[in-house]
Chains A and B, each alone.
Chain A
Amino acid sequence: MTAVPLLEIRNLTVEFATRRGTVQAVKSIDIGVAKGETVAIVGESGSGKSVTSYAVVRILDRAGRVAEGSISFSGVDLVAADETQMRDLRGREISMIFQNPRAALNPIRKVGRQIEDVLLQHVQATRATAKDRAIEALSKVKIARPEERYDAYPFELSGGMCQRVVIALALACQPQLLIADEPTTGLDVTTQKAVMDLIVELTRERGMSTILITHDLGLAAAYCDKVVVMEKGKVVDTALASEIFRNPRHPYTRRLMQATPRLGTSLADLLPDAPQTVPAEARTAVAEPKTVAKPGPLMQVENLVKEYPRAAGGSIFARLLGKGPGEPPAPFRAVDGISFSIARGETLGLVGESGCGKSTTSMMVTRLIDPSGGRIIFDDTDIGAIPAKQFAASPHRRRIQMVFQDPTDSLNPRFTAERAIADPIMRMGAFKGRDALRARCEDLARLVGLPVELIDRFPHQLSGGQKARVGIARAIALDPDLVILDEPTAALDVSVQAVVLNLLDELKGRLGMSYLFVSHDLNVVRLLCDRVIVMKTGSIVEEGTAEEVLGDPKAQYTRELLTAIPHPPL
C-alpha cells in the first residue's frame, strides 16, 4: 500500500470543553488511509476512536473542537473547509455507518424516503427518479422485496435489516470513504458476519476505502488490511493486520490480544501477568464454602413452556359481522418445552441468538415471570408453581439471585454502591443494625475486589468494571445457591471482561454457587462453563459439555454460530 493516501490525519488533537476545564480526547495522532484500503481503528472505550472519526466528518458536538493538526481528504483540508463544502462532502464523498442501527434511522420516516433525502441532497437523483434509485440502493444491500421495504418504518425491521438500510443510505451516493463506527456491536454473530461480508463486498466492488472502528480485535483482523491501535487518545501501534497479531509490538496491543477470549485459552490466560482479582486479605475474610451435602441436581427444569398471545387479526368490522378468523391464532411459543438441569457447583451456559428464548428462560428460572407450563424443581421444591408475584416473599427468593446485563442501567442512580449492595440484605436478610450491615457490605466489596473507599460513591462516579462488581456483590450478598448471569460482560471492554470473568469463576468456587450463564458470546461461554445448552427458536438444539458442543458441534446451527465468529489469526 504505497499509493497516495486518500485521507491523511496529521498531528490531530481534539479538545472538549467540560466543566472541569478542557480535556484532550485525541492527542496528536497520525493516521493515513490509502485508496481502496481498509483500516481498523481498535481501542477500548475512551480511547478516542469515535471522536477521531467525528472530527474527520466534522460532526463533533458543540463542546468539541479540533485544537491542532490537519485532516486532508484527497487534497481538501477538512479542518479549514467551510460548512457548505463539508455538507457536500458528507454523504457524497465520506459516509458513516453507526452503532445501534435502529436508533440511527429517523423513527417516523419511511426508510425509502430517508434514502431519497440523501440522493436529492447530493443531486444524485431528481424527484422523478429518486424512488427508483432508492429501491435500487435497497436491493444493492440485498434486502429482499425492496419495493415493499421502501415503505417500511425502522420499527418494522429487524436490527440486521436496519443496519442494511443504514449501509444503503451511506453508499447511495457512491462515496470514496466509508467510516463504520462499531457497525455490528449489539448484533448476533451470524448477522454480524452477514453485515460485515456485505460491507466488504460493496466497498471492494467500488474500490472504496473503509475505516472500521471497533473494540473487537477478531473483527479487525478478519476484515481489515491495516490496524491502528488507540489507547487514551493516542495511537500506540500501527501495523498490517496480518502482522499485528502474530507479532504485537506494543505492550498495550499485547494486553488487548491476551484479554480477548480465543480458542485454546483458559480464563487465567486472559489476565495480565499478575492475576489478582481478589485482594489477598479478602481471600480469608468472608464466607466458608457451603458444604455440599445433598445429592442430586440443584435445579431441574422439565418441559418448560412460555406462550404469549398473538395479536388477533382482522378488523373490528369483520369480527362484528362474524367474518373474522374462525379461531383465535395459535399463541406464540417463546420457550417451547425445554428440559435441563443444573448440578450443584456447576456452570451451565445458555447460548443462542436474539429471539431464541434464552432471556425468557432465565426470567422464568429466576421466577420473575410465570411459565405457561412445565416444572422448575429447585432443591426438591417446584418453585414454578409459586406465582411470580408471591415469589419475592418465598424463602427461596434469597437462594436464586441475578446479575444483569447492563451494569449501569441495573443500578439505581440515586443509591450509593453500599446502598445497592445492602438492598437485598435489608429486604431479605437478617438486619443486624447499621454497623453490622456496613461491615457486611465492606466484606462483600472486598470479596468482589471493589476498593472499600469506593462504596460510598454513586454509580455515575464508578467505572464500568466497578459497576459490574457492585452488581455481582449485590447478587451474592445473600449467599445464594444459584446465580443467573445474563450477559454480565456484554457491555464491558475486553480487559475488564477478562477480570470480571475470572472474578466470577473464583467466587463460584469459594462460595459454592451454581451459575446459569446466559450469553451470545461463544468464546466466553467456552471459558466459563462446564456444560452448554444451545437454543434456537424456543427449543434446545444441542446440549453437552463445553468441549463437546463448542469443540465438535453436532448440530448444524451450532456449527453456523461457531463459524460466524471472527477469529484473529493465531
Chain B
Amino acid sequence: MLRMIGQRLMTTIPSVIGVIIVTFLLTRVLPGDTAAYFAGPAASPQAIIEIRSKLGLDQPLPVQFVSYVAALVKGDLGTSLTTGQAVTKDLAARLPASAELTLAGLILAMAVALPLGVLAAVKQGSWIDHLCRIVATAGVSLPVFFTGLLLVYVFYFILGWSPAPLGRLDVFASEPPRITGLFLVDTLLARDFETFRGALAQLILPAVTLAIFSLAPITRMTRASMLAVLGADFVRTARASGLTDGKVIGTYAFRNAMLPVVTTLGMVFSFLLGANVLVEKVFAWPGVGSYAVEALIASDYAPIQGFVLTMAILYVALNLMIDVLYGVIDPRVRLEG
C-alpha cells in the first residue's frame, strides 16, 4: 500500500511542475496592467513605472519566473495587492470556508443520492425510479445561482426561517478558536453550542444549493452501477444460497457497485471546490472561489497563481485518496499497485 502511494506521488510531480509553468504564463498573458490598477486612476505615468519596477514587473519573463519559483520553494506565494496580505495567509483563512461548504454539500448530496440510486436500481421502473430521474434532471438543469436565490427568497425573505445570507457567522457572533478552520468542528471542540447552531444555520442554505446540483451525477452513477452489479452472477449465487435481500444488496451488490461511484464522488468534489464561486457570491461566503475571482478582476497575479496551484495540489491529493480507497474496496487493485 505504501509503495502504491509512493508511486502515485511520483507520477504527480510532472503535472505539478506543468501547473506551475502554465499558471505563471497564463497570468502574464491576461489583459490588464497590474501596476496601472494598483496605482489608481489618478496616478501619473511616472508613478506607474515606479510601481512596476517595485513589483519587479519590468524584468524579462524568465527572470520573473525564476524569482517566482525561488519564492515558491520557500513557501512564499507572494503578496496580494488588493488585500495587502500574504497570499498563503489569505488562502489559509479562506480555504477552510470553501472546504466546509463543499464537504457539507457533498455529504448532504451523498446522504440523499446513494440511497435513492440504490433504491431506484433495486425497484427498477417503480415510482422511486421515476423520482430518481426527476431529481437528477431537475438538479442538473437548475443553475446554482438560481437555486441559491430561490432558497434565499423562500426561506429567508418569505418564511424567515433562516438567517441573512451574509457569510459564515452572524455579524455579532465571534469566531470560535481556530483549530481546523471548519466552524462546525471548531465550535464543537470548544463546546460552544450556540455558535455551532449559528454556523449551522448559515451553512444550511448554501450547502443545500450545492447538494441539489451535485445530486444528479451521484444518483445516476449509483443507479447504473447497482443495476450492472445486480445482474451479475455472484448476486444470483447469493440469492440462491438464501441470503436476505439486505445482505445481498448491502454486502454483496453495494460494495461492488461503489468503485465507479467513488470515482464520480472525487470528480464532483474537486469540481465543486473550485467552481462554487457563484454560491459563494450569492451567500457572501468568504471562500477561495470568490477570492480568486476578485483577484482576477484586479489583475492581481499572486492570488490567482496561488489559487490555481492550491487547487491543483488538492486535486492531486484527492485523486490519491480515491486510489487508496479503491484499494480498500477492491483487493484486485491492491495486487496491481
Note whether A and B form a binding pair: yes
Q: State the A residues within 8 Å of B (CB).
A: 57, 59, 62, 86-92, 95-96, 98, 100, 103-109, 117-118, 121-122, 153, 155, 166, 169-170, 315-316
Pair B240/A96 contact, Cβ less than 8 Å: yes
Question: Is A122 a contact partner of B242 (Cβ separation < 8 A)?
Answer: yes
Is A91 within 8 A of B240, CB to CB? yes
The residues of A that contact B234 with a CB separation of less than 8 Å are 103-107
B interface, over-half SS: helix
Q: A104-B234, A107-B256, A109-B252 are in contact. Are A95 and B240 (CB under 8 A)?
A: yes
Query: CA–CA, A87 to B251, complex, Å?
Result: 17
A-B contact pairs, 9 of them (CB 8 A): A92-B242, A98-B236, A100-B233, A104-B237, A107-B234, A108-B331, A118-B241, A121-B241, A169-B237
- The tally of residues in B whose CB lies under 8 Å from a CB in A reads 25
B131 to chain A, nearest CB (A): 19
CB distance from B265 to the nearest CB of A (A): 18
In the complex the two chains form, is B236's CB within 8 Å of A59's CB? yes
Q: Name the residue on A nearest B333 (C-beta).
A: A108
Return B2 CB to nearest CB of chain A, in Å. 8
A90–B255 contact, CB under 8 A?
no
Residues of chain A with a CB closer than 8 A to B329's CB: 108
Q: Are A57 and B332 in contact (CB under 8 A)?
A: no
Determine if A90 and B242 form an interchain contact, defined as CB atoms under 8 angstroms apart.
Answer: yes
Check B6–A316 contact: CB distance below 8 A.
yes
Chain A residues contacting B247 (CB-CB under 8 Å) are 117, 121
Give the distance in Å from the alpha carbon of A9 to the alpha carbon of B332 in the complex.
43
Q: Is B182 positioned at the interface, with any CB of A under 8 Å from its CB?
A: no
Which are the 3 A-B pairs with shortest beta-carbon distances?
A91-B242, A90-B242, A91-B241
**Closest Cβ–Cβ distance, residue A508 to chain B (whole Å):** 38
Measured between beta carbons, the chain B residues less than 8 angstroms from A98 are 233, 236-237, 240
> Residue of A at shortest CB range from B233?
A103
CA separation between A1 and B241, bound complex, in Å? 28
User: Do B3 and A316 touch (CB < 8 A)?
Assistant: yes
Minimum C-beta distance from B249 to chain A (A): 13
Is B239 among interface residues, defined by CB-CB distance under 8 A? yes
Alpha-carbon gap, A170 to B233, bound state (A): 15
Instruction: Give the CA-CA distance A62 to B239 in the complex, in Å.
Output: 14
Q: Contacting A169 at CB < 8 Å: which of B241, B251, B332?
A: B241
Kindly provide the distance from the CB of A321 to the nearest chain B CB, expressed in whole angstroms: 14
B46 beta carbon closer than 8 Å to chain A: no
Chain A residues lying within 8 Å of B236, measured Cβ to Cβ, are: 59, 98, 104
Chain A residues positioned under 8 Å from B233 (CB to CB): 98, 100, 103-104
Q: Kindly provide the distance from the CB of B155 to the nearest chain A CB, expressed in whole angstroms.
A: 42
Residues of A within 8 A of B149 (CB): none
Name which residue of chain A comes closest to B253, CB basis: A106
- Give B34 Cβ to nearest chain A Cβ, in Å: 46
B238/A95 in contact, CB under 8 A: no
Chain B residue with minimal CB distance to A152?
B331
Shortest Cβ distance from A7 into chain B, in angstroms? 15
